[in-house]
Amino acid sequence: MEAKLAGQKTFLTLLKESDIQTIDNWSCDPLLCNTYHNCDSLKEQYLKSYIESQEDNFAIYLINTMDNIVIGRLSIDISYDEDCAGIDMVIAEKVYTGKGYGKDALKTIIKYCFEELRLNCIKMIFKEDNMRAEYCCWACGLKEDKYYLSEDRFKNTSGMVIYKRDYIG
């Protein structure tokens, strides 16, 4: 996976061990955990296990503003059998929500998946009542995934998808 991906308002950098404490602090925020479906993925133990494993098909990126402020995290889980990537994203610093940073980060990773990794589809899961996440997905070209079935650990979630044939860059 690329170490750094740049968008218009954000750039994505691979998670390093020195970044773990920043993200772990977000997992303690009750307001964030009310709107984000996967708060366990922000905890120190999960992040350390990721750093130790370094799988080829999974990566965690930090979402940074152009002035190098860490505002969120984005993970990509690639299924080469399905030729598809699952994206999980959160803008954790509330000052930066609703300002286009999440949309820019999502567009950046979509471009990377389709143009560099040559994948066929990208899927994203979010809490059903998270209107910001749903709007962000719509703005980036994702549509409702009619075949999405929520797993037990992700109850009350919705799924959206974009296929390469629908991607316009």
Q: Residue 6 has which token pair?
A: 């740049």
Distance, CA of 41 to CA of 86 (rounded, Å): 14
Query: Domain 4-120 is in which class?
Result: alpha beta
pLDDT value for 152: 64
Average pLDDT over residues 123-141: 94
CA–CA gap between residue 49 and residue 34 (Å, rounded): 24
The edge-to-edge listing of strands for the beta sheet with 143-144 is 4-6, 10-14, 58-65, 70-79, 84-91, 121-127, 157-163, 143-144
133-144 pLDDT tens trace? 999 999 999 999
- Longest CA–CA span in the chain (Å) reads 40
**What are the extents of the domains in the chain?**
4-120
Residue 116's nearest CA partner among 143, 88, 76 is 76
Mean predicted confidence (pLDDT) in 134-156: 83
Q: In the predicted model, is pLDDT for residue 151 greater than 90?
A: no
Task: Tell me how far apart the alpha carbons of residues 122 and 160 are, in angstroms, rounded to a whole number.
Answer: 8
Give pLDDT, residue 149.
Answer: 67
**What stretch of H or E contains 52?**
helix 44-53
Tell me how crowded residue 156 is: count the other CB atoms within 10 A of its CB.
Answer: 10
Q: 18 — phi, psi (to 5°)?
A: -70, -15
- Three-state DSSP class for residue 14: strand
